[in-house]
Amino acid sequence: MARPTKQGIEYFSLDVDFFSDIKVRRISKACGPASTSILICLLCNIYRDKGYYIEWDEDLPFVVADTIGTTEGAVEEVVKKAVQVGFFDKSLFDQYRILTSNGIQNRFKSAVSRREGFEYIPEYLVSVCNNPIQSNFCIQKPSSTESLYAETQPNRVSACKSTQSKVKERISPPPHAREGGISGIRLFSDKSLTECYGELKANIPWMEQFCMNIRLDYPDFTPELFYGFLDRFFRKLQNEGEIVKSPKDAMSHFANWLNIELEKLKKDGSRTSKNHPACGSEPVSVTETLCPKEGADASPDLVKNWIDGLSIGG
């Protein structure tokens, strides 16, 4: 008798910036230091069981709590916060009571790209029609399960809306698809700083997602501020003698560097607010910290000049 097809995977990659991710940091701040262990335990269960999702049922909180040595209530609070901040996909959680995300599914796709006979539940996928991050995977919603990868071409993205049934087939993902990829850039290959800068600056989905996350702590953070800091970051790399860098590494390095720079601005703003105690509880204004005289009325050019004038380091 044939052995049953293996569904999950035995190991998965964990990004070195996992603990620096703004979503993880917000979960940890709200739910305590044990929350990161709970998140990792949930990821292990997801990848080991179904591979790309797990059902949020009555047993899962107990399983995770028993593994970590915490309470079921703590696990439930972490999951609630994780869905709220987007660590897990909210629409799929609300509709099907499952835990999954774009990043989880892309890592799993990469891990099983050479596996034969794998099937999936189409309704549980983070649809590319609603999520531009998966623009390289045009997966239609069929009437039955089919193999994980659907053949795609750049000029056939509109086929997402097609109602035609598809023949079962398994195609390896495109070479530019990557774990948690954004906008189809070849993120792992080293490029000149000029090429790397050009690709990151042109990556609008990444910029929008980045700004949305930053605005959780800095409500007035704008695309103009983003590009101003990005310019300064690449000048910093040039001054340090960098010649080549992969877009993936640059994204990670830039995120960490910007967090440090914004923390410095927050401290400067805290020192300024000592003369105005009533402002101490308000969210930090990046523009008012950079341009205290002009405040929120500062023009994009003026803000950029202030960013350019900051000491390059870090």
Tens digit of pLDDT for each residue in 253-310?
888 888 888 888 777 665 554 454 444 445 556 555 555 444 445 455 545 555 555 4
DSSP per-residue string spanning 287-304: HHHH-TTTGGG--HHHHH
Q: Does one domain contain both 174 and 197?
A: no
Domain contains 106: no
Number of domains in the chain: 3
Domain contains 186: no
CA distances in angstroms from 288 to 137, 215, 222, 291, listed in the order given: 42, 15, 13, 5
Give the model's pLDDT for residue 238.
Answer: 86
Q: How far apart are CA 119 and CA 7, in angstroms?
A: 9
Per-residue tens of pLDDT for the chain, all 314 residues: 555 566 788 888 888 888 989 999 999 999 998 999 999 999 999 999 888 999 999 999 999 999 999 999 999 999 999 999 999 999 999 999 999 998 898 888 888 877 766 677 888 888 644 443 343 333 434 333 334 433 333 343 444 444 444 433 443 444 433 444 443 444 446 778 888 888 888 988 888 888 888 888 888 888 888 988 898 888 888 888 888 778 888 888 888 888 888 888 777 665 554 454 444 445 556 555 555 444 445 455 545 555 555 444 44
Give the model's pLDDT for residue 8.
Answer: 83
Q: Does one domain contain both 219 and 305?
A: yes
Domain contains 198: yes
| Model pTM score | 0.45
Domain contains 184: no
Q: Does one domain contain both 247 and 297?
A: yes
Q: How far apart are CA 91 and CA 89, in angstroms?
A: 6
Domain contains 159: yes
Of 127, 158, 179, the last residue of a domain is: 179
Q: Does one domain contain both 250 and 157?
A: no
Of 179, 200, 217, the last residue of a domain is: 179
Give the model's pLDDT for residue 304.
Answer: 53
Give the model's pLDDT for residue 177.
Answer: 38
CA distances in angstroms from 55 to 61, 141, 275, 287, 311, listed in the order given: 11, 20, 52, 43, 49
Residues of the domain holding 84: 1-100
Q: Which of 28, 89, 27 is nearest to 54 (CA)?
A: 89
